[in-house]
Structure 1
């Protein structure tokens, strides 16, 4: 059945690739407690792409249970030459698993077996049950699992560039079938897994020999027919190594797993836990996506703010007294504030909030005086953007003595945002929607025609600038 799709992910291998994909930003990816988060972040980005492209009904992420497996009993130095896994990656692995559980995705490990063997076993289970199977890994050893029902995706650079191995592609790349690839590995050995093959036989020679003989068993059955050569001597001398290498290279497709296909069916996302997890990791991007989807907010609507709509008549009546608390927000759609479209503004004087789409009202004498008077202190978000925007309508602002954007940058310059809503969410305040939620993005970006939607967004922003000020300053 075409709708039955099984996605199998090599957890350790992909986490390793994810870690090094953002390795240069290692110190930039930390949560407030100092936990490194680069591998978690990159893993989630890759997972989003896979889920979108594969659309699996069943997902399993397999992890290694430990360093010792049945292969170490065959060969003591199996994987012995590998460098120690960085502590900065090790500390992230439990959190990757936690995130997967929150996303409704099953993880599994099996003592004495590698993740490869779990995946190989589930490939068998999936193919038998007529699933379309996709395997994702950074390890080319798993390409032996390729078949007309199973595609193995191997990470090439980082975690986003994947090479799809089918039987046809395997033949094109290695000159052998997926099954013959095991015999090819038997002859050439594997430096990564630290087991030898036959002396001085590399990938090209190994491929040519297996193309000719089909398997190492058949090759050794016909070894006497070979002409005398140094290669023949090495093949005879290293016969035991070749057969051991084949055992080590062969993925166990019948590992004693204690779960089945029904256990890896995708479960609903636990949005409450996922939101808490993203907040803990300080993943502003993923929080923004949750907010944009409306998920994980327990059905709560964004708080409605009381405001007064300004027009030509009531704008002239606004005045400010000494010691009044004033906050101002100018909305422009677009990154280039020298040219961006004006959307509107919000002004808060003490507890009274005013909003309008018409920025020309700010040229009224009393409002212009309010904004230009250096003696009247005003709270804003992004002083530079606000100053440039007002200059465009001949209002030369002074007295802008608190900048929420600058304050949030000083508190955390690695996870800052130019969006009031996103900054608020970083501090657990969800009373403001993100701009992505209200305006959309790219071709779908637009200013809401409904005044209530726009005005509440602007009003909630100007209220938040003032509300979060004590926390950010502290």
Structure 2
């Protein structure tokens, strides 16, 4: 008996999720196409992975269904579907027509009901069936022959469910999913359930009795009088909710499972559809498929991605082989370094994988050939595509090979990061799957297949070059990529390679001082508490503070009292021991995390710490660092600032220079908002917090007290982050009503700022993203969320990202400009570190004044705003003295 497999796709669910998971793509005609593109990605992956013999896509036919006859408010809380999404459903149906896939909708029923009916037919025929959706309701259909995949993150990351997986996730059978919904309800569909009964309680009850009906027959046996009362009062609601959640499996469908047979698609028809939608990467992919096909028929079994295993691998390990390679090496090429360690700063290079679209080459560097022999690879004549250029530069530099920016480099990592900065850690496998629909695994350094795997993966890099460049161009990110991020990779690589000299002996002395301070604090805490105890034990600390000293607390939980930092800060006014405990924690962290932590990462051969800069990680465009994280050294405490005493220049007659942007985010806010009062204050060189206090409190600048200025400062910086009255009240320890008045008064005096905040959020709702002045994008899929907390966070992010992201862009621009200025000068000065809005340099003492001029000029003129950019610059014999 031949294998048959039916795939049933929930068209509404997948299209909806694709819309909110992907950037707001559009074609030349202005059509938004991100949902169609995402749906296509999922479809191609299903056809490749599942190779179905039968397939159908189900859609809702309209807003009104038979469920509304039973409960008029069904789905009544859902927000209106955005026009940008609604307009894409016809395009999805047209796409399915191009693929030759049957799509089905039936008036008065939902897609779930259609899937339920078709799966009933296939289940009765013992036919293997796979349901694809993002809706957990469909898990009620899972059986021995019917399985489901539910989207988990985005549209291609999924969870697989068979009956055992459903039970493992919910401790219920698939059939009990409707009973679960009957008890707990479903806010997304406005199914009420039993008020006060959540998932945990519902599962507990269903483990006692298997259905809503049986639970209602045994209410007296349910745990707790309150729960029994809720069940009695909401009996009818529970039964109605179960009815609403139950998928109807007898929909009058004008087709049978046999009618859904699928033999594959016609690549030329699909190619025409992709061209119409302007899916350039998919057009290129299917064009290659057509070119490589020996017939004009449909793609076999719906297979899309070509197999990497078909590409032969050439190993180059002799001088003669290498000479032959130089004679016919194609361009562009992909480059991957084969390292013997994940620590690229100290790893050895075992070889280099070199690939074009149809050639896979591995240059073995463990035998006769050396790295210097392959230096022509980074010559300008080759177009080179890599993943993570900065890492490659640092790796090559450690082995004596200098890589210059004048070569034709394309970094897949940076391009993908700019296109979707909220993705988090960018992985090559994700990019390849998204753009080329090819699945690649991780490379195991211990396997013999490592060489061939790397060489074949290198062939994928040149294939990514065009689709990613086209995407950058479509989103107007070319300039940001070419003028900022790509050259910055070279700057950061040099900074990593140089490192920052740390006087280990001085650091140990600081550690000894901190140890003595901890000893003194411990004695003080014991004396104030009246008993010795383990200060680092939350349990013992909670007992001392709340049981013994009687400090006010919230209700005690099973795990004891909370002694988190925010709790202790609120308790500080009640007893002096609390301030000592907070200080003890801060000093302890300085000792363990920073003194001991830094001593572990000082490189013995250089005496320096070589932090790793992460250029493609944060959603705002900010740089971050790790191993060690030098951006996180606490500076609010003098003890924290003293750690910077150990950071010194590399040579005795050199100095450290620190250049720090002054209030850059507020200056950007003034520019973006166009607020006349804010712009005037900066143009006049006034202290902005004093000016704000004078305006809000309606006093002259001379009458502003330190308290007024502190409150104004909190509002100024809080406004940038969309602070609420509650947040401001916590920051300033004032009543919420007073904080609300403070914010209202601020907006009254600076109306342009309020207008900006309103407009930027409204723009984010329409576009789905916000941009910086250099056009860096940040997508905000939660801006339309029904969840208040998620939506509010997205709104605050919309307010802040253009400001914080522009600040990140400006300092990156400044770094690139300064690096070029230093490279074309006779100065020996070197850039060492970037920390938020601050750049750290080292230079010979006699060059300090010149370096300060170079830094100031390039930082203050990195980008022209309506207000001047200002930089504070100092120098000294350590990082501490330079501040």
* Structure 1, 221-230 or 146-155: larger mean CA deviation: 221-230
State how 1:182-261 maps to structure 2 within 5 Å: 182-226=178-222, 229-261=225-257
1:276 to 265, 272, 297: 272
> Using the alignment, how far apart are the partners of 2:161 and 2:110 within structure 1?
21
> Using the alignment, how far apart are the partners of 1:175 and 1:341 within structure 2?
50
Q: Is the 8 A contact 2:205 2:222 kept in 1?
A: no
> Using the alignment, how far apart are the partners of 2:57 and 2:132 within structure 1?
9
Q: CA deviation at 1:223?
A: 2.4
> Using the alignment, how far apart are the partners of 2:18 and 2:457 within structure 1?
31
2:147 to 120, 144, 151: 151
* Cα distance per residue 1:133-186 (max 9 Å; x no partner): 100101111111111111111101001111111111111111111111211110
Runs of 5+ unmatched residues, structure 1 = 301-329, 344-384, 392-413, 415-440, 447-474
1:30 is the counterpart of 2:26: yes
Q: Which has the higher contact order (CA 8 A, sep 6+)?
A: 1
Go from structure 1 to structure 2 and tell me whether the alpha carbon gap of 1:226 and 1:96 turns closer, same or farther (over 3 Å shift).
closer
- TM-score in terms of structure 2 length: 0.35
Q: CA deviation at 1:271?
A: 3.3
1:14 is the counterpart of 2:14: yes
Go from structure 1 to structure 2 and tell me whether the alpha carbon gap of 1:59 and 1:76 turns closer, same or farther (over 3 Å shift).
same
Q: CA deviation at 1:288?
A: 1.4
> Using the alignment, how far apart are the partners of 2:107 and 2:263 within structure 1?
25
Q: Which one has a larger percent helix, Structure 1 or Structure 2?
A: 2
> Using the alignment, how far apart are the partners of 2:2 and 2:214 within structure 1?
38
1:265 to 250, 261, 268: 261
1:88 is the counterpart of 2:84: yes
Q: Is the 8 A contact 1:120 1:253 kept in 2?
A: yes
> What SS class does the counterpart of residue 72 from structure 2 fall into?
coil
Aligned twin of 2:380: 388
> Using the alignment, how far apart are the partners of 1:4 and 1:259 within structure 2?
18
Q: Is the 8 A contact 1:145 1:178 kept in 2?
A: yes
> Using the alignment, how far apart are the partners of 1:234 and 1:218 within structure 2?
16
Aligned twin of 1:404: none
- TM-score in terms of structure 1 length: 0.63
> Using the alignment, how far apart are the partners of 2:184 and 2:209 within structure 1?
15
State how 1:425-464 maps to structure 2 within 5 Å: 443=456
Go from structure 1 to structure 2 and tell me whether the alpha carbon gap of 1:147 and 1:91 turns closer, same or farther (over 3 Å shift).
same
> Using the alignment, how far apart are the partners of 1:2 and 1:217 within structure 2?
43
1:54 is the counterpart of 2:50: yes
> What SS class does the counterpart of residue 9 from structure 2 fall into?
strand
Q: CA deviation at 1:273?
A: 2.8
Q: Is the 8 A contact 1:102 1:271 kept in 2?
A: no
Aligned twin of 2:331: 332
Q: Is the 8 A contact 1:334 1:340 kept in 2?
A: no
> Using the alignment, how far apart are the partners of 1:297 and 1:35 within structure 2?
32
Aligned twin of 2:719: none
* Cα distance per residue 1:199-243 (max 9 Å; x no partner): 211111111111111111111222245577011111011000001
Q: Is the 8 A contact 2:5 2:129 kept in 1?
A: yes
* Cα distance per residue 1:287-311 (max 9 Å; x no partner): 11222112699979xxxxxxxxxxx
> Using the alignment, how far apart are the partners of 2:85 and 2:355 within structure 1?
45
Q: CA deviation at 1:445?
A: 7.8
> Using the alignment, how far apart are the partners of 2:129 and 2:87 within structure 1?
30
> Using the alignment, how far apart are the partners of 1:126 and 1:143 within structure 2?
16
> Using the alignment, how far apart are the partners of 1:340 and 1:155 within structure 2?
35
Q: CA deviation at 1:79?
A: 0.4
Aligned twin of 2:769: none
* Cα distance per residue 1:43-75 (max 9 Å; x no partner): 111111111221110001100000100001100
Q: CA deviation at 1:272?
A: 3.4
Go from structure 1 to structure 2 and tell me whether the alpha carbon gap of 1:183 and 1:445 turns closer, same or farther (over 3 Å shift).
closer
* Cα distance per residue 1:302-356 (max 9 Å; x no partner): xxxxxxxxxxxxxxxxxxxxxxxxxxxx9524047xx99899xxxxxxxxxxxxx
> Using the alignment, how far apart are the partners of 1:280 and 1:166 within structure 2?
39
Aligned twin of 1:3: 3
Q: Is the 8 A contact 2:74 2:189 kept in 1?
A: yes
* Cα distance per residue 1:86-143 (max 9 Å; x no partner): 1111111111111111112111101000000000001101111221110010111111
> What SS class does the counterpart of residue 154 from structure 1 fall into?
strand
Q: Is the 8 A contact 2:58 2:104 kept in 1?
A: yes
Aligned CA-pair RMSD: 3.2
Runs of 5+ unmatched residues, structure 2 = 297-328, 336-351, 357-376, 384-418, 420-453, 460-883
> Using the alignment, how far apart are the partners of 1:444 and 1:81 within structure 2?
48
Q: Is the 8 A contact 2:38 2:155 kept in 1?
A: yes
> What SS class does the counterpart of residue 192 from structure 1 fall into?
helix
Q: Is the 8 A contact 1:78 1:194 kept in 2?
A: yes
Q: CA deviation at 1:15?
A: 0.5
> Using the alignment, how far apart are the partners of 1:59 and 1:273 within structure 2?
18
1:160 to 156, 173, 186: 156
Go from structure 1 to structure 2 and tell me whether the alpha carbon gap of 1:229 and 1:258 turns closer, same or farther (over 3 Å shift).
same
Q: CA deviation at 1:78?
A: 0.3
